[in-house]
Chain A
Amino acid sequence: DTGVSQDPRHKITKRGQNVTFRCDPISEHNRLYWYRQTLGQGPEFLTYFQNEAQLEKSRLLSDRFSAERPKGSFSTLEIQRTEQGDSAMYLCASSSKGLGMETQYFGPGTRLLVL
């Protein structure tokens, strides 16, 4: 168990460019979550997957954002036509759905800066 990993850890881009982030969950965790965290605030839910199915999307997730988890393992989060307001830390978490409430394990995050 190597924990949740995210790549890249930092990304600087110019407004209007597309960016893609990757998350590798803890192996055999069937749930995967994306959150966004801005300075001075707690993480805000964006979307989550159970296996390869995207089960819920927040209204925060505009149509410029898309997330995939094609084989039920790693996930990607793409932001098209980035805006300065997209600058934030993007967090990934994974958990295992089972009896009772599962614990989410967070990755180190990808810090995005849009210039």
Chain B
Amino acid sequence: GDSVTQMEGPVTLSEEAFLTINCTYTATGYPSLFWYVQYPGEGLQLLLKATKADDKGSNKGFEATYRKETTSFHLEKGSVQVSDSAVYFCALSTNAGKSTFGDGTTLTVKP
């Protein structure tokens, strides 16, 4: 079946540091890939997505590139802010529509 493996957290960074959260996947079909963010006390929000190999999704300074050859979709941001503190989930979705999620990575950014 489909699965998503995320870098284990928690991750603690200083403001303006570079962020990478690793995500790899296995899928029976050709999935779309997503990053969701969950801020404290809030619901899941779509951060970015990519639907085919070599696509780059980007939003709010975050980026991730769909790498079919390495089955990866790593999340990066060049300079994190305190307001980026949240839980980040990598997910995939196949033609069936349902999504398979990783276990989440908690990011804490300190001023």
Contact = CB atoms under 8 A, between A and B. Distances in A.
A42 B101 contact: yes
Interface residues of A, number: 27
Contact of A31 (B36, B45, B97): B97
A38 to B, nearest CB: 10
Report the contact-size class of chain B (Cβ under 8 Å from the partner): 20 to 34
A21 interface: no
Contact of B91 (A41, A42, A105): A42
A43 B96 contact: no
A33 B101 contact: no
Interface in B14-69: 32, 34, 36, 42-46, 49, 51
A42 B42 contact: no
A48 B43 contact: no
A41 B97 CA distance: 20
B81 interface: no
10 tightest Cβ-Cβ pairs between the two chains A and B: A42-B101, A101-B32, A106-B44, A108-B43, A45-B98, A43-B101, A42-B103, A101-B51, A41-B103, A42-B89
22 contacts: A33-B99, A35-B99, A40-B104, A41-B103, A42-B4, A42-B102, A42-B103, A43-B44, A45-B99, A48-B97, A48-B98, A50-B97, A55-B96, A91-B43, A93-B99, A101-B93, A103-B34, A103-B49, A104-B99, A106-B43, A106-B44, A107-B43
Interface of A: 31, 33, 35, 40-45, 48, 50, 55-56, 91, 93, 95, 97, 100-109
Given A48-B97, A48-B98, 6 more contacts: A42-B102, A44-B101, A101-B32, A103-B34, A106-B44, A108-B42
Interface of B: 4, 32, 34, 36, 42-46, 49, 51, 89, 91, 93, 96-104
